[in-house]
Structure 1
């Protein structure tokens, strides 16, 4: 074998090993990838029961029901569709009706979602990008919602 042929074989073998490694990584990650959906997207796409996902939107007004222990049932809406979420555990301190949340869990079908975790916005101006994008698509985005700090008056310009 000539020097050129050895190089080509080495490059081909390295490419094959690299492709094999990438395939194994993707195969290993396929069960841990979690997609984000809004309530309307779930209804439109017909997501299969048992699918692990993230569900985000606004906590619907008058929907929070606390059960025995730490069980909480509430609805997440994007103003067109609502999905009932059940969660066992402590809710974040900033969780309340009308706030943006992202839940991660399993869609159970028929408008039911079983959450493993609930994430609420962490200050007055933050909202997860996926939730904000969904609300913008629906026409319900209020970029100044929740900000109560008064705007400073403009500084007058002095001319001489």
Structure 2
């Protein structure tokens, strides 16, 4: 997001102009209306609400990645509360490990935007590596990106209204 121009707030409605500049130089500008119970525009400026809204969608994307990509839409198998806790923690641990590996891959490619990596590609590369056990034993100096990190391609920049 290149810039946010804020219009005066209305009761229950925050208005902001969002400008997105794509990698090819194309600029798209549109007005967003954020319905909210935070009606004090001085205490809760539209600029901050829009930024937090974007962060919220990053969290939603995390849950989507776990639910749809890792679980393929299946429900948890556990039937007892302690087992459900363990299963959820296992999913979150695997997700965090994949994100960490993706972070290492980003460090090896300085101009790669962290928001543009493919979680699905990282997950499939990790599955392939676990199933085939390839690259488990290394000789020489360990490279942090490893097979999974090298599999993460550059993705096409995208923007989506949600």
TM (norm. structure 1) is: 0.21
Question: Which structure has the larger Rg over C-alpha atoms?
Answer: 1
Structure with the largest fraction of strand: 1
TM (norm. structure 2) is: 0.21
